[in-house]
A and B are shown apart, each in its own frame.
Chain A
Amino acid sequence: MSKKLMALLAALLLVASFAMAAGEKEAAPAAAGVVVDQWEIPFLNSLTGAIASIGEYLQWGAERAAFEINQAGGIAGKPVKVIGVDTALEPQLGVVEMGKIVNWALVALGPVPEPVIMAAAPIAVENEMMTMTATTSLEYAERFFPWSISWFPATADRLPPLATEWAKMAGVKRVVQFVGVYGPWPGMAAAHVDGLKAAGAAHVGDVEFNVDAVTFGPLVVRALDMKPDGIILACWPDKAAKIVQELKNRGWTDMNKILLFSSADDAALYTTGGAALNGTIIYNYINVDTDRPRWIAFKEAYSRDHNGLQPPSLSTNYYDAVYMIKRAIEETGVTGDPRKLKEERKAIAAYMFNMKNFEGLLFNWDMSNGIPTNKPTYLFEIQDGRKKLVKEIRP
């Protein structure tokens, strides 16, 4: 009896040891010298306040990347965690939080958006820590080089070809722009004008307004008074939708002669504009119809978590940023040892500043001195709340 029991126990132990050994094989081995139990990446984000909806999907993108990475064995064999730090669009919160982060983090995501970037990013620069401002234009990000990288090429390089292509395609000759007076947008509007000139179209005027504008009838009348045959909208998504509705109400029919800029490509555009947007053209930096398996999985997961909505254009930025950090840590042999914090921060920043052939969610690209050199841009036509690719433009 006791012999049988002993044999059973021995067999169980054998099975258990095999199972444990198999389990160990599944986890990726930690790289030599890694001392952290978990990589922690702080993300200075606006999770509440006026742009909370944008902050939510930026955070979602970063956490999705962390989830995938952890499923695949982590970074250098250790899991990664993205820690959302809410700055609520307030620089006075951003500086205190960044002041805490520079004490321990290897690299940070954010801040978001420009006022918080301007207040908090200098603290990262002073402490020689990379802070990835992946939603702003080069004109902001370059102020913090080499402790930041730009997600976009210079506005003056990337936007004129888009405006040129649209002007040629739509055959417009006289264009009016609606310009939201905010951050880099007036500069973006100026770049559109350069593109129009290249296409031989005249820019007949701008209609400027700020975030407080609520009625657009008078502004649209002013624009139509300039007798345009084309309209560019460089403003907030909900306001762009209302302007399109006002244009339609006043007899505008050539919808593909309306171009919306990238920052208008947000859920509020589609929920506010509805069917009125059908036929309008919008430019952006991601092609939602790409058939890369990772992107399809991302799109499905996003849609599941967001009531069937498509991922907005910026939703991929911090997803890619987390993967860039993963590659930088693994390629530079960073250990996470607090005693080496300064040198490891430098190693990560230097690597990312000139990272080559990065495999992004939607396309591969190279960084050259902090600026992406070969990211494509796209023109889409909007139909029933979805974007249909019209043209890809490669630098």
Chain B
Amino acid sequence: MSLALYYFLAITAIYILMSWGLYLPYRVAHLHFLTVANMLISGYLAGFLVQNLGFSFWIALILGFAAGGILGYLISLFIGDAPTFTVVIVGFTFIYVSRTVVENLKAVGGTMGMFGLPTVAGTPSTHRTVLLILLYVLVVVVGFLIYRFEHSRLGRAASAVFVDKDLATSLGVDIKRMGRLVQTFSSLIAGGCGVLYGFIYRSYHLDFFTFHLVGIFMTVIFVGGYATMWGTVIAAPALYGLTLILPTEVASWRIVIYGAILIAVLVLKPEGFITRRLAYRVENALTRKRKRHITDPKGD
């Protein structure tokens, strides 16, 4: 596999996972930007453990997930049922705070960053293969969990919370518990993504984790479709790939192109390209086909 394709696939997987990390809390009307801070904290933690203390990558990865989950849970105790705006402010604040802490920590390179992280397995080529497999296994596992969530009572309860919190409460939905659950899960995913993101580059720099990432993930969600998980799967590779396949002269206009796409989608298709109705229609069609196949495997 070419290096360009590897990086495209690896970073697309990170975009999908991180966009799901924002999508899930958005199901209960939370814009949970804390996930970018989770990426940063877990990433630097893993880098420090591996490079300075000699931990294996796998242990550092598990601890990265754990750090994300624990931080997400602790903060969700306070903002699990907070209004959207409060959750946004908390997220931004944590990005600032965590960046400032890292800037002042010499042990993780401060403003210079961390260089030369070891490979996760043998040669650089094996390193890439292992990371890519790991990333897409994660995409499948996380995607499966979100799919199950959406088709469960919890998913329907989340939809009720999104429409009207008071109504959802009157129907017996514990909105704080629901908020805690989705926030903790998204922080957990983000923690792992932070570790993997740094090991893709084999380095960490504070500017890997800027507000720019929030912009990318939000664009992916809103262009792809914020009402279903499938929009992200389509939009992440399409938006990232678009900038890479355009000729150089046109590519430098990509911010304008992104902006135009976003405006067009918001005006013409406010729910995004993949709407919930479209997703259900496709799912139903696939289910009918499967049922037909089970009742009449020969197709007679």
A69-106: CB near B (< 8 Å → 1, else 0) gives: 00000000000000111101111110111111011000
B244, A118: Cβ atoms closer than 8 Å: no
- Bound complex: CA A376 to CA B3 (Å): 40
Is B280's CB within 8 Å of the partner chain A? no
What's the least CB distance linking B198 to chain A, in Å? 10
Interface string of B1-22 (1 = CB under 8 A from A): 0111111100100000000000
Is A385 part of the binding interface, using a Cβ–Cβ cutoff of 8 Å? no
CA distance in complex: A85, B247 (Å): 10
Residue B107, interface by CB 8 Å: no
Report the Cα distance A123→B202, complex, angstroms: 10
| A187 close to B (CB within 8 Å) | yes
Assuming the A-B contacts A118-B113, A123-B3, A183-B111, are A84 and B208 also in contact, with contact meaning beta carbons closer than 8 angstroms in the complex?
no
Residues in chain B near residue A97, CB distance under 8 A: 4, 244
Residues of B within 8 A of A285 (CB): none
The reply to whether B110 and A186 contact each other, CB–CB distance below 8 Å, is yes
Please give, as numbers and ranges, the residues of chain A lying within 8 Å of B255 by CB-CB distance.
Answer: 48-49, 88
Task: Give per-residue flags for B60-71: 1 if the beta carbon is below 8 A from chain A beta carbons, else 0.
Answer: 000000000000
Contact of A143 among B7, B115, B212, B240 (CB under 8 A): B115
Question: What residues of chain A lie closer than 8 Å to B110, measured between beta carbons?
Answer: 186
List residues of chain B with CB within 8 A of the CB of A139: 112
| Cross-chain contact A100 with B112 (CB below 8 angstroms) | no
Query: Contacts A139-B112, A186-B111 known; A122 to B203 CB distance under 8 Å?
Result: yes
Write the nearest CB–CB distance from B245 to chain A, whole angstroms.
10
Q: Give the interface SS of chain B, mostly helix, strand, loop or mixed.
A: helix
A115 contacts partner chain B, Cβ-Cβ < 8 Å: yes
**A24 at the binding interface (Cβ < 8 Å):** no
Do A122 and B202 form a contact, CB below 8 Å, given A83-B248, A102-B3? yes
Instruction: Given the known inter-chain contacts A99-B2, A115-B205, please indicate yes or no for A86 contacting B252, CB distance below 8 A.
Output: yes
| Size of A's binding interface in residues, CB under 8 A | 41
Cβ-based interface call for B100 (8 A):
yes
Question: B197-222: contact bitstring with A at CB < 8 Å (1 yes, 0 no)?
Answer: 00011110111100010000000000
- Asked if residues B113 and A122 are in contact (CB atoms below 8 Å), the reply is no
B residues less than 8 Å from A186 (CB atoms): 110-111
The residues of B that contact A89 with a CB separation of less than 8 Å are 207
Please judge, given known A-B contacts A92-B11, A96-B7, A182-B111, whether A118 and B252 are in contact too, CB under 8 Å.
no
With A115-B208, A181-B103, A210-B100 as given contacts, are A103 and B202 in contact (CB-CB < 8 Å)?
no
Q: Mark A101-124, 1 if CB is under 8 A from B, else 0.
A: 011000000000011001100110
Q: Does B251 contact A (CB under 8 A)?
A: yes
Residue B243 CB within 8 A of the other chain: yes
Inter-subunit contact B205/A114 (CB<8 Å) = yes
**A47-B252, A95-B11, A99-B7 known; A183 vs B124 contact (CB < 8 Å):** no
B contact residues around A95 at 8 Å (CB): 7, 11, 200-201
Given contacts A90-B212, A114-B207, A143-B115, are A96 and B252 in contact (CB under 8 A)? Answer: no
Contact A86 B113 (CB under 8 A): no
Q: How far is the CB of A104 from chain B (nearest CB, A)?
A: 11
- Residue pair B252, A103 in contact (C-beta under 8 Å): no
- Of A93, A103, A181, the residue contacting B2 (CB under 8 A) is A103
In the assembled complex, how far is the CB of residue B40 from the closest CB belonging to chain A, in whole angstroms? 13
Please, which residue of chain A has its CB at the minimum distance from the CB of B200? Answer: A95
Q: Are A181 and B111 in contact (CB under 8 A)?
A: yes
B248 touches A99 (CB 8 A): no
Query: Hey, which chain B residues are within 8 Å of A48, CB to CB?
Result: 252, 254-255
B4 pairs with A118, CB closer than 8 A: no
- The answer, yes or no, to whether B116 is at the interface (CB within 8 Å) is yes
Smallest CB separation, B112 vs chain A (Å): 6
A265–B109 alpha-carbon span in the complex (Å):
26
Interface residues of B in 237-265 (CB under 8 A from A): 240, 243-244, 248, 251-252, 254-255
Collect the chain B residues with CB atoms within 8 Å of residue A96's CB: 4, 7-8, 11, 244
Please encode chain B, from 96 to 108, with 1 for each CB lying within 8 Å of some chain A CB and 0 for all others.
1001100100000
Nearest to B243 among chain A residues (CB) is A93
> In this assembly, does A171 line the interface, its C-beta being within 8 Å of a C-beta of chain B?
no
Please give the distance in Å from A209's CB to the nearest CB on chain B: 11
* Residue from B116, B248, B254 within 8 A of A85 (CB atoms): B248
Residues on B with beta carbons closer than 8 Å to the beta carbon of A360:
none
A119 touches B248 (CB 8 A): no
The reply on A126 being an interface residue by CB < 8 A is yes
CB nearest to A89 among chain B residues: B207
Minimum Cβ distance to chain A for residue B12 (Å): 10
1/0 contact string of B113-146 vs chain A (CB within 8 Å)? 1011000000010000000000000000000000
A237-263: CB near B (< 8 Å → 1, else 0) gives: 000000000000000000000000000
State the Cβ distance, A180 to closest chain B Cβ, in Å. 9
User: Do A118 and B103 have beta carbons less than 8 Å apart?
Assistant: no
CA distance A183 to B205 in the complex (A): 9
A363 within 8 A of B: no
Q: Closest 4 interchain pairs by CB?
A: A99-B3, A99-B4, A115-B207, A119-B201
A-B contact pairs, 9 of them (CB 8 A): A91-B201, A96-B11, A97-B4, A100-B3, A114-B205, A115-B207, A119-B205, A182-B111, A186-B110
Given contacts A92-B240, A99-B3, A119-B201, 7 further A-B contacts (CB under 8 A): A86-B252, A91-B205, A95-B7, A96-B7, A96-B244, A103-B2, A187-B112
